[in-house]
Amino acid sequence: MSEHDAPRVVRPVRNQLSLQPTDLEALVPDEHPVRAIWTLVERLDLSAFYDEIASRGSNAGRPATDPAVLLALWLFANSEGVGSARLLERLCERDAPYRWICGGVPVNHHTLADFRVEHGKKLDRLMTQVLAALMKEGVVQLRRVAQDGMKVRASAGAASFRRRQSLERCRKEAEEQVRKLRREIESDPSASTKRVQAAKERAAQARLDAVEAALAEVEVVEKQRVERDEKKPSDARRRGEIRVSTTDAESRVMKMADGGFRPAYNVQFATDESGVIVGTDVTNNGTDQPHVVPMLDEIRRRTGETPREYLVDGGFVTLDNIEAIAERGATPYAPLPKPKSKAVDPHAPKRNDTPAIGAWRVRMGTEDAKRVYVQRGVLAERTNADLRVHRRLDRLNVRGLVKVKTIVLLAAISFNIMRLVASRLSA
């Protein structure tokens, strides 16, 4: 082909230096949700975060990353289902909304990960702040609240669960490995070898610490089992050996929504009829019954009020729970246990019923109560589905009850802030 017949194309030139000015403001439309999130973050009281910063005035030290930037990044990331600090770091380099939040502030995954799990108490106060704003604007009125729980997969494998005997053997092996590595470090003068050996020693020590934590948790589980068994007849007591994970000692094997059994945490949410989360709780107890009273007290602590109507499913129902709901000033709506005999009217008060229990039985037989109770699934299960599917709260990437609680709090705050954003946009 002659030169005159060859096609003319523009070829890439990758070794050409160039300057590309960027206007971050122009990259994000005025109506983009990230702007509303940043506006709300700026209005929150973040003084507790700033009080911990050591770099001040002319004092020596590297300036800290602005906590408002880190908080806004996680809130927006959570709303988009991003739960990985490494992925969030990459998004801050390439995606316009995340770059806009950063505004040129460099962030890395270590800073992001540490911020997310090290500020549980501060996030707890932020949750209360956001709820107060929603109540002030009339979005949350606590007229009707539904509670539900979901099992969230822990960051631990089933094979990591071991019996006490196996843990004791692992501890001896780990202790011997630590001692061996320390002897090798002391006997080898080479600096480079020492660094390698020191890294191995840290890994061995971490393994030993994990086994020690698992053994300590065995003691906790044994004590809990004894306390539960004291309330049961002898033929109903559990006989199997206790197993604890060496990966996440505080996780427990629980029955999941699909019927399988896997390491998990029990995450509880209470949702107002406005769709706002008004209470959260995380435990490693797989049953729901013990979590009614703590959640009601949690709502009272955060809002200063008690819901007028409280909706729970059959997994939460005990007579003590129904009584406790009524004692706190709420009207309980929950399904009645199925009577053993078809001749028994489940809606008729029984001889030993307290007034609150008797009223609950009668109430649940009315058409009004049935219409109210139908909303439980709409409120509670919709919230759980949103958090599980859209915010990726289906599998945890942190370990330990304290860190899991911070992850759940952050998810709830993000969920509520998007409700607040929607409320203000529609006003």
Instruction: Enumerate residue ranges in the chain where pLDDT < 70.
Output: 1-4, 185, 188-197, 228-240, 425-427
Quick check: helix, strand or coil at residue 236? Answer: helix
The pLDDT of residue 185: 67
CB 266 within 8 A of CB 282: yes
- Which one-letter DSSP state was computed for residue 59? -
The pLDDT of residue 410: 95
The pLDDT of residue 92: 95
The pLDDT of residue 288: 95
CA angle 231, 237, 243 (to 5 degrees): 115
Cα–Cα distance measured from residue 156 to residue 153, given in angstroms and rounded to the nearest whole number: 8
The pLDDT of residue 420: 85
The pLDDT of residue 191: 52
pLDDT tens digits, residue range 305-359?
A: 999 999 999 999 999 999 999 999 999 999 998 888 888 888 999 989 999 999 9
Cα–Cα distance measured from residue 255 to residue 151, given in angstroms and rounded to the nearest whole number: 8
User: In whole numbers, what is the pLDDT of the chain averaged over residues?
Assistant: 88
Cα–Cα distance measured from residue 89 to residue 374, given in angstroms and rounded to the nearest whole number: 43
Q: Which two tokens stand for residue 66?
A: 């602005």
The pLDDT of residue 222: 77
- Which one-letter DSSP state was computed for residue 243? E
The pLDDT of residue 233: 59
Its sign, for the CA torsion 384, 386, 391, 392, is: positive
H helices of 334-400, in order, are 355-363, 367-376, 382-389
Quick check: helix, strand or coil at residue 237? Answer: coil
